[in-house]
Amino acid sequence: MKLAFIGIGNVGFAIARNLEKKGHEVIVASDNPASESVRKALESCPGFKVQSVQAAIDAADVVLLAIPFKANETTLPGLHFHGKTLVDCTNPVGPGISHGLNSERSGSERVQELAPDAHVVKAFSIYGFENFADSAFPAYSVLPAMLIAGNDATAKQQVTALATDLGFEAVDTGALSQALHLEHMTLLWVKMVRAGGHSPHFVWAKLGK
């Protein structure tokens, strides 16, 4: 697939690099190709292409959103997704590692409001970038789980394929409103790892059918 990445920092780059290794074409969507994050990404992965944000969206099969959540408010309005899948990798984080929208609704539902002509799927958000850089756990017989949420079945099938290529077992949790609970899982992970000192190399897994 052709994949456009809006945001190529730690999370976006880790996902993009590994998906490129699986044969996907990566387009960095940036209106500032001279930015430090874009420069570093191209130094490590010269096969990445760079296009303006709208041009990258137009060329892509799937778009991945991996910028700071607050930046969604200024980045997404005015963009046109033409019914394409938009993977929301962002998380609203407030003071004290709290939910940035006061747990009243999910950040993904806000993303859907800002990009009404996209099929938004929450994914690649319940872990830190370390788990996207390396999802292999060879000592275990189960795959790490990647929980996803969205309203469109076809869009979730596309994201499931990407998650599988990254070495995860995709688990469909239901409608996009379920993203609120996935965002709380992210906060738990962050509190345990970034604040609590746990190793970042742990994941959730699904046992049983």
pLDDT digits (tens, 9 = 90+) for 15-30: 999 999 999 999 999 9
**Which domains are delineated in the chain?**
2-130+137-195 (3.40.50.720)
**What's the mean pLDDT when you consider all of the chain?**
97
Alpha-carbon distances, residue 201 vs 97, 135, 153, 163, 204 (angstroms): 20, 9, 30, 17, 11
Rounded average pLDDT over 136-143: 92
Q: Is the pLDDT of residue 150 over 90?
A: yes
Rounded average pLDDT over 159-177: 98
| Residue range 60-100, pLDDT digits in tens | 999 999 999 999 999 999 999 999 999 999 999 999 999 99
Cα three-residue angle 183-188-189, rounded to 5 degrees: 95
Q: Residue 209's pLDDT is what?
A: 79
Q: Is the pLDDT of residue 177 over 90?
A: yes
Percent of the chain with pLDDT over 70: 100
Beta bridge partners of 174: none
- What phi and psi values does residue 40 have, to the nearest 5 degrees? -65, -40
Q: Is the pLDDT of residue 197 over 90?
A: yes
Chain Cα centroid distance, residue 158: 13
Calpha distance 18→15 (Å, rounded): 5
pTM: 0.97
Q: Residue 41's pLDDT is what?
A: 98
Contact 92, 117 (CB under 8 A): no
